[in-house]
Structure 1
Amino acid sequence: MTRLFGAILRGCLVVLMISTPSLLLPNVPGDVSQIVVLLCIFAAGLTVFEYAATYPGLVEFRDAPPFNRIRFLAMFVTVLVLTVICLDEIRPSAVTAGAHAVGSVIAAAIDFPYSPVRLFALLLPADAPPWLVDLVLSAAGMAYLISLLSLAVFTIYTRITRWPSGRGAFNVWINLPTFDPTTGGDVADRMSRDARFNVALGFVLPFLIPVILRASTTPFDPFSLEQPQTLIWTVSAWALLPASLFMRGIAIGRIAAMIREQRRRAAPDSDPALVPV
């Protein structure tokens, strides 16, 4: 019952996050509302089934908090803040103006040549109106700052608490359900390679995504960023997906180091490659 209650609570929080832009922004089209409802139903069902089940499914680090909690909180805060910034263009108030001003200051501080924020702003055409450029810069700067803060919080937490070994036994099967330890050679070496790949991909994606969108054969309409919903989710994905990959790389790297340390303790005079996990 405790697991089921926790799963239902997580599902409700996911629904609240997805529906936040539609709840706060006025004049949301009917078809957008229907899509949001479908996404809420699907996301809530997936979350409840994953966390209520005894056996693992697709969600990684299900029993290794606060990995998923930090990622969800960063996503929730990003969506909420970007919604408030977009609301300043529709229904201005003291709160929305303050959020927009803070975002503009942050964007100005990190908007230098070849920065991720500058590359994202270059998606807009040269004849884009000034208000749209300022809105995109403010949203991108705020989202990128939140992603960096979430990454810093997770890194500091892992150092202070010696995560995941500081929480007791760590079950690789439950927390990494898609990882197959029977293929590809040594488990620790494979995890180390996966960790380096995730960290490298998380580092280059903020620079790479705008370039891919500009060079894509599928036309990306920059003026679609005028729509608040499109701007919120596009900027959120651009900022938080790389941070999530970076965090995953750090987490898997620490698990690989933990496995090697357990091997050394179990058989200090043996070949680590021959000691079972």
Structure 2
Amino acid sequence: MLRRITGALMRGILVAVMIASPSLLLPDYTTDAIEIVALLAIVGAGLTFAEYFANYPSIVEFRDAPPLNRLRFVGLFLMVLVLTLASKNIYEPTAITGFFSGLGQVVGHYSDFPYSPVRLVIGMLPDGISNMVVERVRDAAGVAYAIALTSVVVFIGAVRLYGWPTRNGAFNVWVNLPRFDPTAGGDVVHRLQRDGRINAVLGIALPFLIPTLVRMTSDLIDPITLAHPQTMIWTISAWAFLPASMIMRGIAMMRIAELIEDKRRRASQESEPVHLL
């Protein structure tokens, strides 16, 4: 019990720190913004604590199948923190902020090539925006996308090299997939494979589709300027994190389907009658 409380509390605190990081490190413009961020941090921490403290699952998938959720959180936290420190270099330059700003410029430069996701993000910006904002958005998109790709590669390594999730013991589908109903109809393996492929394909396509859709709808709604640092940080982080999270979810579901299929095959072989000569 004490271990569960400590783990849930630590997770809640980390979520609150991540949500509040841009507001804590960057200059604030209004008092209302501080209050809203504080409220969001408290709500996020409370929901995380309640989810990981409860005995029964609710909405968080793969709760007891590390390191999937840890990789997701670390990836998002790194995106927010790195983009925040790079943005802070504009207002309060230091050695640390200068390092991350320079890192963003290098990554943004090499990831900005024709038809790349970073180039598409730049293309969704409204016409007439300053070159400084364009460069900041390019650098932020390059860093965030690099972190997202790294998270996906690390998870693939955990699956293929370390046999996730079998090293953590038996995989409980009900606890780790609370929104998946095995009795809804159809073969479980086929449904898991289908859902996994859909998530993986959407995750690969979204970094390209989102900027295109934003650009196409710019005549109907106000275009995103991303001139405000905190708006840019959260928008770019969401643009990079959501597709990476969907890809990892798709890989995880296809892996679970593979384990179930292997278990069925072994059970079928063990149940075959032995023919004596």
TM-score range, shorter chain: over 0.9
**TM-score normalised to the size of structure 2?**
0.94
- Report the aligned-residue RMSD: 1.5
Note the C-alpha offset of 1:247: 0.3
Query: For the residues of structure 2 that align with 1:131 and 1:88, how far apart are their CA atoms?
Result: 13
On the 8 A contact 1:74/1:146 being kept in 2, the answer is yes
Query: For the residues of structure 2 that align with 1:222 and 1:9, how far apart are their CA atoms?
Result: 35
Query: For the residues of structure 2 that align with 1:208 and 1:269, how far apart are their CA atoms?
Result: 48
Query: For the residues of structure 1 that align with 2:188 and 2:58, how far apart are their CA atoms?
Result: 20
Q: Aligned with 2:269: secondary structure? A: coil
Alignment partner, residue 275 of structure 2: none
Query: For the residues of structure 2 that align with 1:178 and 1:126, how far apart are their CA atoms?
Result: 43
Percent identity for Structure 1 against Structure 2: 51
Cα pair distance change 1:43/1:128, threshold 3 Å = same
Match of 2:151, as an amino acid? S
Query: For the residues of structure 2 that align with 1:167 and 1:48, how far apart are their CA atoms?
Result: 22
**TM-score normalised to the size of structure 1?**
0.94
Q: Aligned with 1:226: secondary structure? A: coil
On the 8 A contact 1:214/1:220 being kept in 2, the answer is no
Match of 2:147, as an amino acid? I
**Are residues 1:59 and 2:60 paired?**
yes
Query: For the residues of structure 2 that align with 1:105 and 1:121, how far apart are their CA atoms?
Result: 16
Q: Which deviates more from structure 2 when the two are superposed, residues 214-223 or residues 179-188? A: 214-223
Query: 5 Å matches for 1:111-130?
Result: 111-130=112-131
Note the C-alpha offset of 1:67: 0.5
Cα deviations across residues 83-109 of structure 1 (Å, max 9, x unaligned)? 011112222222222211211111111
Cα deviations across residues 121-169 of structure 1 (Å, max 9, x unaligned)? 1122332111111111110100000000111111111112111122221
Match of 2:138, as an amino acid? L
Note the C-alpha offset of 1:270: 7.6
Note the C-alpha offset of 1:269: 7.7
Match of 2:255, as an amino acid? R
Query: For the residues of structure 1 that align with 2:122 and 2:66, how far apart are their CA atoms?
Result: 35
Query: For the residues of structure 1 that align with 2:49 and 2:29, how far apart are their CA atoms?
Result: 28
Alignment partner, residue 22 of structure 1: 23
Q: Aligned with 2:170: secondary structure? A: coil
**Where do 5+ consecutive residues of structure 2 fail to align?**
273-277
Alignment partner, residue 275 of structure 1: none
Aligned length: 270
Note the C-alpha offset of 1:75: 0.6
On the 8 A contact 1:203/1:246 being kept in 2, the answer is yes
Which of the numbers 221, 224, 228 marks the counterpart of 1:222?
Answer: 224
On the 8 A contact 1:11/1:47 being kept in 2, the answer is yes
Query: For the residues of structure 2 that align with 1:123 and 1:178, how far apart are their CA atoms?
Result: 34
**Where do 5+ consecutive residues of structure 1 fail to align?**
272-277
